Protein backbone atom coordinates (compact mmCIF):
# COMPACT_ATOMS: atom_id res chain seq x y z
CA UNK A 1 0.00 0.00 0.00
CA UNK A 2 1.26 3.48 -0.91
CA UNK A 3 1.49 5.92 1.99
CA UNK A 4 -1.62 8.08 1.70
CA UNK A 5 -1.15 11.80 1.20
CA UNK A 6 -4.21 14.00 0.76
CA UNK A 7 -4.59 17.76 0.16
CA UNK A 8 -4.25 19.63 3.43
CA UNK A 9 -6.96 22.17 2.53
CA UNK A 10 -9.63 19.48 2.22
CA UNK A 11 -9.32 18.53 5.89
CA UNK A 12 -10.49 22.03 6.82
CA UNK A 13 -12.99 22.56 4.00
CA UNK A 14 -16.74 23.16 4.13
CA UNK A 15 -18.17 21.90 0.83
CA UNK A 16 -21.36 22.98 -0.90
CA UNK A 17 -22.69 20.95 -3.83
CA UNK A 18 -24.33 22.79 -6.71
CA UNK A 19 -26.43 21.39 -9.56
CA UNK A 20 -25.58 24.19 -12.03
CA UNK A 21 -28.88 24.33 -13.95
CA UNK A 22 -30.83 24.90 -10.73
CA UNK A 23 -28.80 27.17 -8.44
CA UNK A 24 -28.89 30.67 -9.94
CA UNK A 25 -29.54 32.31 -13.32
CA UNK A 26 -27.70 35.47 -14.34
CA UNK A 27 -29.38 38.15 -16.43
CA UNK A 28 -25.97 38.81 -18.02
CA UNK A 29 -26.14 35.61 -20.09
CA UNK A 30 -28.75 35.32 -22.87
CA UNK A 31 -30.99 32.26 -22.79
CA UNK A 32 -32.86 30.31 -25.48
CA UNK A 33 -36.57 30.99 -25.79
CA UNK A 34 -37.80 27.74 -24.27
CA UNK A 35 -36.09 27.76 -20.89
CA UNK A 36 -38.59 26.68 -18.21
CA UNK A 37 -39.82 29.29 -15.71
CA UNK A 38 -37.55 29.31 -12.66
CA UNK A 39 -40.28 28.91 -10.05
CA UNK A 40 -42.13 25.97 -11.63
CA UNK A 41 -41.50 22.32 -10.69
CA UNK A 42 -38.65 20.82 -12.72
CA UNK A 43 -39.39 18.35 -15.48
CA UNK A 44 -37.28 15.39 -16.52
CA UNK A 45 -35.78 16.99 -19.63
CA UNK A 46 -36.35 20.73 -19.19
CA UNK A 47 -33.72 23.36 -18.51
CA UNK A 48 -34.06 26.14 -15.93
CA UNK A 49 -31.11 28.14 -17.19
CA UNK A 50 -28.88 28.27 -14.14
CA UNK A 51 -25.34 29.30 -15.06
CA UNK A 52 -21.87 30.00 -13.73
CA UNK A 53 -22.29 33.77 -13.54
CA UNK A 54 -25.37 33.13 -11.43
CA UNK A 55 -23.12 31.38 -8.93
CA UNK A 56 -20.68 34.30 -9.09
CA UNK A 57 -23.50 36.69 -8.23
CA UNK A 58 -24.26 34.65 -5.09
CA UNK A 59 -20.74 34.13 -3.80
CA UNK A 60 -21.52 36.59 -1.01
CA UNK A 61 -24.30 34.27 0.14
CA UNK A 62 -21.93 31.31 0.17
CA UNK A 63 -19.21 33.23 2.00
CA UNK A 64 -21.70 34.42 4.60
CA UNK A 65 -22.73 30.81 5.19
CA UNK A 66 -19.07 29.86 5.65
CA UNK A 67 -18.50 27.78 2.52
CA UNK A 68 -14.87 27.26 1.47
CA UNK A 69 -15.25 24.77 -1.43
CA UNK A 70 -17.79 24.07 -4.15
CA UNK A 71 -18.45 20.73 -5.80
CA UNK A 72 -20.19 21.32 -9.13
CA UNK A 73 -22.17 18.66 -10.96
CA UNK A 74 -21.02 18.44 -14.61
CA UNK A 75 -20.40 21.69 -16.45
CA UNK A 76 -19.23 20.47 -19.86
CA UNK A 77 -21.25 20.71 -23.07
CA UNK A 78 -23.99 18.13 -23.03
CA UNK A 79 -27.49 17.34 -24.23
CA UNK A 80 -29.21 17.00 -20.85
CA UNK A 81 -29.89 19.26 -17.87
CA UNK A 82 -27.80 17.02 -15.59
CA UNK A 83 -24.92 16.94 -18.12
CA UNK A 84 -23.81 13.40 -17.23
CA UNK A 85 -23.60 12.59 -20.95
CA UNK A 86 -20.69 14.74 -22.13
CA UNK A 87 -20.65 16.10 -25.67
CA UNK A 88 -17.36 18.02 -25.44
CA UNK A 89 -14.92 17.63 -22.54
CA UNK A 90 -12.95 20.76 -23.40
CA UNK A 91 -15.89 23.16 -23.64
CA UNK A 92 -18.05 24.38 -20.78
CA UNK A 93 -21.70 24.21 -21.80
CA UNK A 94 -22.82 27.42 -23.58
CA UNK A 95 -25.97 27.44 -21.43
CA UNK A 96 -23.67 27.84 -18.41
CA UNK A 97 -21.75 30.66 -20.09
CA UNK A 98 -19.01 28.70 -21.84
CA UNK A 99 -15.29 28.72 -21.08
CA UNK A 100 -15.23 32.49 -20.62
CA UNK A 101 -17.80 32.35 -17.82
CA UNK A 102 -15.90 29.48 -16.20
CA UNK A 103 -12.73 31.59 -16.21
CA UNK A 104 -14.61 34.43 -14.51
CA UNK A 105 -16.22 32.00 -12.06
CA UNK A 106 -12.88 30.42 -11.11
CA UNK A 107 -11.18 33.77 -10.61
CA UNK A 108 -14.00 35.22 -8.50
CA UNK A 109 -14.41 32.07 -6.41
CA UNK A 110 -10.69 31.87 -5.71
CA UNK A 111 -10.66 35.55 -4.84
CA UNK A 112 -13.38 34.79 -2.28
CA UNK A 113 -11.32 31.94 -0.81
CA UNK A 114 -13.48 29.19 -2.32
CA UNK A 115 -11.98 26.13 -4.04
CA UNK A 116 -13.69 24.49 -7.03
CA UNK A 117 -14.07 20.74 -7.59
CA UNK A 118 -15.59 19.74 -10.93
CA UNK A 119 -17.39 16.56 -11.96
CA UNK A 120 -15.63 14.16 -14.32
CA UNK A 121 -17.82 11.71 -16.23
CA UNK A 122 -15.21 9.43 -17.77
CA UNK A 123 -17.03 6.10 -17.86
CA UNK A 124 -19.44 7.05 -20.64
CA UNK A 125 -20.12 9.90 -23.06
CA UNK A 126 -22.94 11.39 -25.07
CA UNK A 127 -23.90 9.90 -28.43
CA UNK A 128 -22.91 13.28 -29.87
CA UNK A 129 -19.32 13.06 -28.52
CA UNK A 130 -17.22 13.32 -31.67
CA UNK A 131 -15.63 9.84 -31.63
CA UNK A 132 -18.99 8.12 -31.13
CA UNK A 133 -20.67 10.36 -33.71
CA UNK A 134 -17.93 9.34 -36.13
CA UNK A 135 -18.74 5.68 -35.49
CA UNK A 136 -22.41 6.33 -36.21
CA UNK A 137 -21.46 8.14 -39.43
CA UNK A 138 -18.72 5.87 -40.75
CA UNK A 139 -19.44 2.52 -39.15
CA UNK A 140 -16.64 -0.04 -39.15
CA UNK A 141 -14.45 2.35 -41.15
CA UNK A 142 -14.33 4.84 -38.26
CA UNK A 143 -10.86 5.41 -36.79
CA UNK A 144 -12.60 5.54 -33.40
CA UNK A 145 -14.26 2.13 -33.63
CA UNK A 146 -12.12 0.82 -30.74
CA UNK A 147 -12.95 3.75 -28.47
CA UNK A 148 -16.14 1.89 -27.58
CA UNK A 149 -17.18 -1.75 -27.36
CA UNK A 150 -19.45 -2.20 -30.37
CA UNK A 151 -21.39 -5.47 -30.28
CA UNK A 152 -23.17 -5.26 -33.63
CA UNK A 153 -22.94 -3.17 -36.78
CA UNK A 154 -24.48 -0.78 -37.36
CA UNK A 155 -24.91 0.17 -33.68
CA UNK A 156 -28.46 1.04 -32.67
CA UNK A 157 -28.15 4.45 -31.03
CA UNK A 158 -31.74 5.69 -31.12
CA UNK A 159 -34.33 2.91 -31.29
CA UNK A 160 -34.96 2.30 -27.59
CA UNK A 161 -37.27 -0.62 -28.36
CA UNK A 162 -34.12 -2.61 -29.18
CA UNK A 163 -30.81 -3.02 -27.31
CA UNK A 164 -28.16 -0.45 -28.25
CA UNK A 165 -25.72 -2.94 -29.74
CA UNK A 166 -22.79 -1.51 -27.77
CA UNK A 167 -21.76 -1.25 -24.17
CA UNK A 168 -23.74 1.56 -22.56
CA UNK A 169 -24.13 2.66 -18.97
CA UNK A 170 -27.19 0.88 -17.56
CA UNK A 171 -27.86 -0.10 -21.19
CA UNK A 172 -29.00 3.48 -21.88
CA UNK A 173 -28.65 4.29 -25.57
CA UNK A 174 -27.65 7.91 -24.92
CA UNK A 175 -24.72 6.97 -22.65
CA UNK A 176 -22.27 4.77 -24.61
CA UNK A 177 -19.48 3.37 -22.44
CA UNK A 178 -15.87 4.08 -23.38
CA UNK A 179 -13.35 1.27 -23.89
CA UNK A 180 -10.80 2.13 -21.20
CA UNK A 181 -8.50 -0.70 -22.28
CA UNK A 182 -7.71 1.38 -25.37
CA UNK A 183 -4.53 3.47 -24.78
CA UNK A 184 -5.96 6.23 -26.98
CA UNK A 185 -8.98 6.56 -24.68
CA UNK A 186 -6.75 6.61 -21.61
CA UNK A 187 -4.53 9.30 -23.13
CA UNK A 188 -7.53 11.44 -24.04
CA UNK A 189 -9.06 11.25 -20.54
CA UNK A 190 -5.71 12.03 -18.93
CA UNK A 191 -5.34 15.03 -21.26
CA UNK A 192 -8.76 16.32 -20.16
CA UNK A 193 -7.97 15.73 -16.48
CA UNK A 194 -4.68 17.63 -16.71
CA UNK A 195 -6.12 20.47 -18.82
CA UNK A 196 -8.79 21.55 -16.34
CA UNK A 197 -6.45 21.33 -13.36
CA UNK A 198 -4.00 23.52 -15.27
CA UNK A 199 -6.87 25.94 -15.95
CA UNK A 200 -7.31 26.32 -12.19
CA UNK A 201 -9.85 23.73 -11.05
CA UNK A 202 -8.94 22.44 -7.59
CA UNK A 203 -9.99 18.85 -8.05
CA UNK A 204 -12.12 16.19 -9.66
CA UNK A 205 -15.20 14.39 -8.40
CA UNK A 206 -15.36 11.16 -10.38
CA UNK A 207 -18.70 9.80 -11.54
CA UNK A 208 -19.27 6.02 -11.20
CA UNK A 209 -15.52 5.25 -11.11
CA UNK A 210 -16.26 1.67 -10.02
CA UNK A 211 -17.51 0.98 -13.55
CA UNK A 212 -13.99 1.37 -14.96
CA UNK A 213 -12.23 -1.97 -14.47
CA UNK A 214 -9.05 -1.42 -16.50
CA UNK A 215 -6.03 -2.22 -14.26
CA UNK A 216 -3.92 0.84 -13.52
CA UNK A 217 -6.35 3.33 -15.04
CA UNK A 218 -7.03 5.33 -11.88
CA UNK A 219 -3.40 5.13 -10.78
CA UNK A 220 -2.48 6.78 -14.07
CA UNK A 221 -5.22 9.37 -13.60
CA UNK A 222 -3.82 10.27 -10.17
CA UNK A 223 -0.28 10.64 -11.50
CA UNK A 224 -1.42 13.06 -14.20
CA UNK A 225 -3.58 15.16 -11.87
CA UNK A 226 -1.04 15.34 -9.05
CA UNK A 227 1.71 16.27 -11.51
CA UNK A 228 -0.39 19.25 -12.54
CA UNK A 229 -1.20 20.20 -8.94
CA UNK A 230 -0.12 18.09 -5.94
CA UNK A 231 -2.89 19.70 -3.87
CA UNK A 232 -5.67 18.81 -6.32
CA UNK A 233 -8.45 16.76 -4.73
CA UNK A 234 -9.61 13.46 -6.25
CA UNK A 235 -12.87 12.16 -4.77
CA UNK A 236 -14.81 9.20 -6.13
CA UNK A 237 -18.51 8.42 -6.12
CA UNK A 238 -18.53 5.18 -4.12
CA UNK A 239 -21.65 4.13 -2.20
CA UNK A 240 -20.18 1.30 -0.14
CA UNK A 241 -16.82 0.28 1.33
CA UNK A 242 -14.03 1.72 -0.80
CA UNK A 243 -10.74 0.16 0.27
CA UNK A 244 -10.01 -0.80 -3.34
CA UNK A 245 -9.69 2.87 -4.33
CA UNK A 246 -8.29 4.30 -1.08
CA UNK A 247 -4.85 2.73 -0.90
CA UNK A 248 -3.05 6.03 -1.46
CA UNK A 249 -2.43 5.47 -5.18
CA UNK A 250 -5.86 6.29 -6.68
CA UNK A 251 -8.37 8.59 -4.93
CA UNK A 252 -7.82 10.93 -2.01
CA UNK A 253 -11.30 10.16 -0.71
CA UNK A 254 -14.82 9.12 -1.64
CA UNK A 255 -18.24 10.61 -1.23
CA UNK A 256 -19.03 9.09 2.16
CA UNK A 257 -22.47 7.66 1.43
CA UNK A 258 -21.74 4.82 3.85
CA UNK A 259 -21.44 7.35 6.68
CA UNK A 260 -24.72 8.96 5.61
CA UNK A 261 -26.37 5.54 5.75
CA UNK A 262 -25.50 5.01 9.41
CA UNK A 263 -26.40 8.57 10.43
CA UNK A 264 -29.84 8.35 8.82
CA UNK A 265 -30.56 4.90 10.23
CA UNK A 266 -29.61 6.07 13.74
CA UNK A 267 -30.94 9.63 13.88
CA UNK A 268 -34.03 9.37 11.68
CA UNK A 269 -34.59 5.67 12.22
CA UNK A 270 -38.24 4.64 12.39
CA UNK A 271 -39.31 8.15 11.37
CA UNK A 272 -37.84 7.77 7.87
CA UNK A 273 -39.92 8.51 4.78
CA UNK A 274 -39.88 5.11 3.09
CA UNK A 275 -41.13 6.48 -0.22
CA UNK A 276 -38.08 8.75 -0.41
CA UNK A 277 -35.46 6.06 0.22
CA UNK A 278 -36.91 2.85 -1.21
CA UNK A 279 -34.14 2.60 -3.82
CA UNK A 280 -31.13 3.53 -1.63
CA UNK A 281 -28.32 0.97 -1.51
CA UNK A 282 -27.19 0.25 1.08
CA UNK A 283 -30.67 0.71 2.61
CA UNK A 284 -31.27 3.59 5.01
CA UNK A 285 -34.79 2.67 6.20
CA UNK A 286 -33.76 0.04 8.74
CA UNK A 287 -33.45 1.73 12.18
CA UNK A 288 -30.43 1.05 14.39
CA UNK A 289 -29.74 1.90 18.02
CA UNK A 290 -26.99 4.23 19.21
CA UNK A 291 -25.04 1.14 20.23
CA UNK A 292 -25.30 -0.30 16.72
CA UNK A 293 -24.41 3.10 15.27
CA UNK A 294 -21.29 3.16 17.44
CA UNK A 295 -20.25 -0.25 16.13
CA UNK A 296 -20.80 0.77 12.51
CA UNK A 297 -18.80 3.99 13.00
CA UNK A 298 -15.94 2.08 14.65
CA UNK A 299 -15.91 -0.25 11.62
CA UNK A 300 -16.01 2.67 9.20
CA UNK A 301 -13.10 4.43 10.90
CA UNK A 302 -11.06 1.22 10.75
CA UNK A 303 -11.46 0.90 6.97
CA UNK A 304 -9.03 3.61 5.83
CA UNK A 305 -5.87 5.39 7.01
CA UNK A 306 -6.49 8.44 9.18
CA UNK A 307 -5.04 10.71 6.47
CA UNK A 308 -7.87 9.59 4.19
CA UNK A 309 -10.56 9.72 6.89
CA UNK A 310 -9.86 13.42 7.34
CA UNK A 311 -10.28 14.05 3.60
CA UNK A 312 -13.56 12.17 3.10
CA UNK A 313 -16.48 14.12 1.63
CA UNK A 314 -19.19 13.67 4.26
CA UNK A 315 -22.64 14.28 2.83
CA UNK A 316 -26.18 13.52 3.98
CA UNK A 317 -27.98 14.19 0.69
CA UNK A 318 -27.10 14.95 -2.93
CA UNK A 319 -28.49 15.19 -6.46
CA UNK A 320 -28.70 11.37 -6.45
CA UNK A 321 -30.83 11.07 -3.29
CA UNK A 322 -33.92 12.53 -1.72
CA UNK A 323 -33.23 15.65 0.31
CA UNK A 324 -32.55 15.11 4.00
CA UNK A 325 -35.62 17.00 5.21
CA UNK A 326 -37.81 14.85 2.98
CA UNK A 327 -36.09 11.69 4.22
CA UNK A 328 -36.87 12.87 7.77
CA UNK A 329 -40.56 13.40 6.94
CA UNK A 330 -40.16 17.13 7.55
CA UNK A 331 -38.76 16.74 11.09
CA UNK A 332 -36.30 19.65 11.32
CA UNK A 333 -35.05 18.45 14.73
CA UNK A 334 -33.72 15.26 13.20
CA UNK A 335 -32.15 17.13 10.29
CA UNK A 336 -30.30 19.29 12.81
CA UNK A 337 -29.17 16.30 14.84
CA UNK A 338 -27.87 14.56 11.73
CA UNK A 339 -26.04 17.74 10.72
CA UNK A 340 -24.51 18.02 14.20
CA UNK A 341 -23.00 14.57 13.76
CA UNK A 342 -21.87 15.46 10.23
CA UNK A 343 -20.06 18.63 11.33
CA UNK A 344 -18.27 16.97 14.25
CA UNK A 345 -17.09 13.90 12.30
CA UNK A 346 -13.66 13.46 10.65
CA UNK A 347 -13.79 14.53 7.00
CA UNK A 348 -15.08 17.55 5.09
CA UNK A 349 -18.84 18.14 5.47
CA UNK A 350 -20.77 18.83 2.27
CA UNK A 351 -24.14 20.63 2.09
CA UNK A 352 -26.37 19.99 -0.92
CA UNK A 353 -27.51 23.37 -2.27
CA UNK A 354 -30.70 24.56 -0.60
CA UNK A 355 -30.79 21.93 2.13
CA UNK A 356 -29.58 24.63 4.50
CA UNK A 357 -32.84 26.55 3.95
CA UNK A 358 -35.06 23.49 4.18
CA UNK A 359 -35.60 22.67 0.52
CA UNK A 360 -37.40 19.37 0.08
CA UNK A 361 -37.61 16.80 -2.70
CA UNK A 362 -37.92 13.06 -2.98
CA UNK A 363 -37.82 10.61 -5.82
CA UNK A 364 -37.50 10.58 -8.81
CA UNK A 365 -34.28 12.57 -9.16
CA UNK A 366 -35.87 15.72 -10.59
CA UNK A 367 -37.82 16.34 -7.35
CA UNK A 368 -34.57 16.77 -5.44
CA UNK A 369 -33.16 19.09 -8.13
CA UNK A 370 -35.53 22.03 -7.84
CA UNK A 371 -34.39 25.62 -8.30
CA UNK A 372 -33.08 27.69 -5.41
CA UNK A 373 -35.88 30.12 -4.43
CA UNK A 374 -33.83 33.33 -4.39
CA UNK A 375 -36.85 35.57 -5.00
CA UNK A 376 -39.08 33.76 -2.51
CA UNK A 377 -37.38 34.17 0.87
CA UNK A 378 -40.68 33.40 2.60
CA UNK A 379 -40.04 29.78 1.59
CA UNK A 380 -36.71 29.69 3.41
CA UNK A 381 -36.30 28.18 6.84
CA UNK A 382 -34.12 31.03 8.10
CA UNK A 383 -33.67 29.43 11.50
CA UNK A 384 -32.28 26.28 9.86
CA UNK A 385 -29.86 28.33 7.78
CA UNK A 386 -28.67 30.12 10.93
CA UNK A 387 -28.20 26.72 12.54
CA UNK A 388 -25.93 25.60 9.69
CA UNK A 389 -23.96 28.85 10.01
CA UNK A 390 -23.40 28.09 13.70
CA UNK A 391 -22.24 24.55 12.95
CA UNK A 392 -19.84 25.80 10.28
CA UNK A 393 -18.43 28.47 12.59
CA UNK A 394 -18.06 25.91 15.39
CA UNK A 395 -16.13 23.52 13.17
CA UNK A 396 -13.92 26.27 11.76
CA UNK A 397 -13.19 27.60 15.24
CA UNK A 398 -12.04 24.34 16.83
CA UNK A 399 -9.20 22.37 15.30
CA UNK A 400 -10.04 19.17 17.20
CA UNK A 401 -13.36 18.97 15.33
CA UNK A 402 -11.50 18.95 12.01
CA UNK A 403 -8.44 16.79 12.47
CA UNK A 404 -8.55 15.54 16.06
CA UNK A 405 -8.46 11.82 16.85
CA UNK A 406 -11.81 10.09 17.43
CA UNK A 407 -12.82 8.22 20.60
CA UNK A 408 -16.12 6.54 21.35
CA UNK A 409 -17.21 7.32 24.94
CA UNK A 410 -20.73 5.99 25.37
CA UNK A 411 -23.58 4.32 23.53
CA UNK A 412 -26.93 2.87 24.61
CA UNK A 413 -30.23 2.61 22.76
CA UNK A 414 -30.64 6.35 22.10
CA UNK A 415 -27.57 8.28 23.27
CA UNK A 416 -24.15 8.34 21.63
CA UNK A 417 -21.09 10.21 22.88
CA UNK A 418 -17.59 10.63 21.48
CA UNK A 419 -14.54 12.85 21.79
CA UNK A 420 -12.20 14.52 19.29
CA UNK A 421 -8.70 15.21 20.62
CA UNK A 422 -5.79 17.16 19.18
CA UNK A 423 -2.87 18.11 21.39
CA UNK A 424 -4.23 19.85 24.47
CA UNK A 425 -7.61 20.47 22.84
CA UNK A 426 -10.58 18.17 23.35
CA UNK A 427 -14.15 18.32 22.09
CA UNK A 428 -16.85 16.18 23.72
CA UNK A 429 -20.02 15.48 21.75
CA UNK A 430 -23.21 13.87 23.08
CA UNK A 431 -26.33 13.29 20.96
CA UNK A 432 -29.74 11.94 21.93
CA UNK A 433 -32.11 10.73 19.21
CA UNK A 434 -34.97 9.97 21.64
CA UNK A 435 -38.11 12.10 21.96
CA UNK A 436 -37.49 12.38 25.70
CA UNK A 437 -34.69 13.73 27.90
CA UNK A 438 -31.87 11.32 28.77
CA UNK A 439 -29.46 11.45 31.74
CA UNK A 440 -26.08 9.76 31.46
CA UNK A 441 -22.67 9.79 33.14
CA UNK A 442 -19.50 10.06 31.07
CA UNK A 443 -16.09 8.97 32.34
CA UNK A 444 -13.72 11.34 30.56
CA UNK A 445 -11.03 12.04 33.15
CA UNK A 446 -8.42 9.86 31.49
CA UNK A 447 -9.20 11.35 28.10
CA UNK A 448 -8.78 14.91 29.28
CA UNK A 449 -5.74 14.01 31.38
CA UNK A 450 -7.27 15.53 34.52
CA UNK A 451 -9.79 14.49 37.14
CA UNK A 452 -11.10 18.03 37.42
CA UNK A 453 -11.33 20.15 34.29
CA UNK A 454 -13.66 22.90 33.07
CA UNK A 455 -15.62 22.11 29.92
CA UNK A 456 -17.07 25.04 28.00
CA UNK A 457 -20.30 24.45 26.11
CA UNK A 458 -20.00 25.51 22.47
CA UNK A 459 -23.29 23.91 21.41
CA UNK A 460 -26.43 23.07 23.37
CA UNK A 461 -26.58 25.90 25.84
CA UNK A 462 -23.86 28.02 27.38
CA UNK A 463 -21.70 28.05 30.46
CA UNK A 464 -19.07 25.79 31.95
CA UNK A 465 -19.42 22.25 33.30
CA UNK A 466 -16.82 20.67 35.58
CA UNK A 467 -15.68 17.08 35.88
CA UNK A 468 -16.18 15.42 39.26
CA UNK A 469 -13.42 12.83 39.78
CA UNK A 470 -13.22 12.42 36.03
CA UNK A 471 -16.97 12.02 35.56
CA UNK A 472 -19.45 14.30 33.84
CA UNK A 473 -23.15 14.12 34.62
CA UNK A 474 -25.09 15.01 31.48
CA UNK A 475 -28.77 15.75 30.88
CA UNK A 476 -29.31 15.60 27.13
CA UNK A 477 -32.45 17.27 25.73
CA UNK A 478 -34.73 15.32 23.39
CA UNK A 479 -33.60 14.95 19.78
CA UNK A 480 -30.63 17.23 20.36
CA UNK A 481 -27.04 17.26 21.49
CA UNK A 482 -24.34 19.06 23.46
CA UNK A 483 -20.75 19.90 22.52
CA UNK A 484 -18.08 20.93 25.03
CA UNK A 485 -14.55 22.14 24.39
CA UNK A 486 -11.50 22.36 26.57
CA UNK A 487 -8.04 23.59 25.70
Question: Rounded CA gap, 451 and 447, in Å?
Answer: 10
In sequence order, the 6+-apart residues with CB closer than 8 A to the CB of 167 are 148, 149, 151, 176, 177, 179
Question: Rounded CA gap, 123 and 180, in Å?
Answer: 8
* Catalytic annotation, pick one of 51, 119, 202, 237: 237
Report CA dihedral (466, 470, 471, 476) to the nearest 10 degrees: 50
95 forms beta bridges with: none
Give catalytic status of residue 207 as yes or no. yes
Give catalytic status of residue 473 as yes or no. no
Distance of CA 290 to the CA centre of its chain: 24
What is the DSSP-derived secondary structure letter of residue 482? E
Helical packing angle, 332-343 and 382-397, nearest 10° = 20
Question: What string of DSSP letters covers 124-165?
Answer: B--TTSHHHHHHHHHGGG-TTGGGB-B-SSS--SS-TTS--S
Helical packing angle, 183-198 and 217-228, nearest 10° = 30
CB 235 within 8 A of CB 251: yes
CB 287 within 8 A of CB 301: no
The answer for 470, left when phi > 0, alpha when psi is -120 to 50, beta otherwise, is left
* Catalytic annotation, pick one of 207, 285, 320, 360: 207
Point out the residues that are catalytic: 207, 237
Amino acid sequence: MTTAKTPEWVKHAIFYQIFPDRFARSARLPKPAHIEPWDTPPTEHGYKGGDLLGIVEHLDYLCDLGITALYLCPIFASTSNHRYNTHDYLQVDPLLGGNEAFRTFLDEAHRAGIRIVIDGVFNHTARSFQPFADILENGEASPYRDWYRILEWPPNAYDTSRPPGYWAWWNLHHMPTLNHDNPEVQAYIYQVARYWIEQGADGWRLDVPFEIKTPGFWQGFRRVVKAANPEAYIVGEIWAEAQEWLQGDQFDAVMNYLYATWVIRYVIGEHVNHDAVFDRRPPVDEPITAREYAERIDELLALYPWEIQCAQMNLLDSHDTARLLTVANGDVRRVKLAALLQFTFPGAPCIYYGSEIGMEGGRPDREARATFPWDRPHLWNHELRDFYKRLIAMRKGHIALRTGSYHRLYADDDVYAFARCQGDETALVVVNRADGTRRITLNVGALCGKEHVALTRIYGGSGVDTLDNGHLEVVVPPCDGIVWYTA
